[in-house]
Amino acid sequence: MKITVLDGHALNPGDLSWQAFESLGEIRVHERVTANGIIDAALGADALLTNKTPLSQSTLEALPDLKYIGVLATGHNIVDSITARSSGIPVTNVPSYGPESVAQMAIAHVMNISRQVAHHASTVRNFRWAQNKDWCYWDFPQIELSGKTLGIIGLGTIGLNTARIAQALGMKVIANRKSDKPMPEAIDKASLDQIFEQSDFISLHCPLTEDNEKLVNQNRLAQMKPTAFLINTSRGQLVDEDALFQALKDHRIAGAGLDVLTQEPPASDNPLFTLENCHITPHIAWATLAARRRLMDTAAHNLASWINGTPINVVNP
């Protein structure tokens, strides 16, 4: 079994081991490949592992030896799964490897925004406190979270973990989800209109689909309170960034905390970078060591299960 990893650096920059895959076959790890180098890197592989390197129809058709694709993530839209299925190639993903980590990042953005932690820490580093006439100072209103309303869109495992942490902080949680399952105790079911109109913080936790691309658009942003904040640790394409920029620039909403953007890496001239009330982290909600270790273990188990004739986590059956 020849196993090739196309972009191993994202999952394992050096603090994990590929040993679980080494026990399954001969493994070759590329830290990253260019768009023009994907086919050359993948030629001869029986199994391909990819995090964000795309595998299009033309790429798959150029790889006659390929028998298996493992996506080192939950989202698998980077693979042409239909073409893979027509070629008899299963595509697997890794669901639910980091719900605690992503939830913590969502709440980290809530807490940073509510108290402006990063901003004030940077002013201290620049000696402002040492040179201050008073014993303390703050540049933005300090917001107590107890009693505030968190609206969650997408109440899967990550959304539920986010709700649990928010409730521990004394927040009221309302949520919208497509499932007909009963709502958990102390979480009120809400329509999207209610989420956008009533929430002090809105946190996105839904997968990207054709139906919800640019879910947060000019009309939805207009429904939000001028004191409300948007948090997105899910997918950048859920948000119309042009509309968000205008809403933030005009202070029609108070701020945003984003761990994802529509284009990643983003263009250096992304206008959101210019806004003091937009706080952006580089898609790291998933990246704790614990979450990445679970991802690695599950991806190896996926491949081992396929080798043994009992495939799991197949997204293109």
> What CA–CA distance (Å, rounded) separates 183 from 185?
6
Would you place residue 86 in the very low, low, confident or very high pLDDT band (cuts 50, 70, 90)? very high
Q: Does domain 2-97+289-307 have CATH number 3.40.50.720?
A: yes
Residue spans per domain, the chain:
2-97+289-307, 99-280
Interval 176-214: pLDDT, tens? 988 888 889 899 999 999 999 999 999 999 988 889 999
Output DSSP code: residue 219.
Answer: H
- Residue 251's alpha-carbon distances to 52, 103, 142, in angstroms, are 34, 27, 17
- Mean residue pLDDT across the chain: 96
Cβ atoms 137, 129 nearer than 8 A: yes
Amino acid found at 7: D
Q: What is the pTM of this model?
A: 0.93
- Residue 254's alpha-carbon distances to 21, 62, 105, 222, in angstroms, are 47, 50, 19, 12
Return the active site residues. Answer: 235, 264, 283
Interval 44-66: pLDDT, tens? 999 999 999 999 999 999 999 99
Predicted pLDDT at 266: 97
Output DSSP code: residue 144.
Answer: P
pLDDT over 70 for what percent of the chain? Answer: 100
Provide the CATH topology of domain 99-280.
Answer: Rossmann fold (3.40.50)
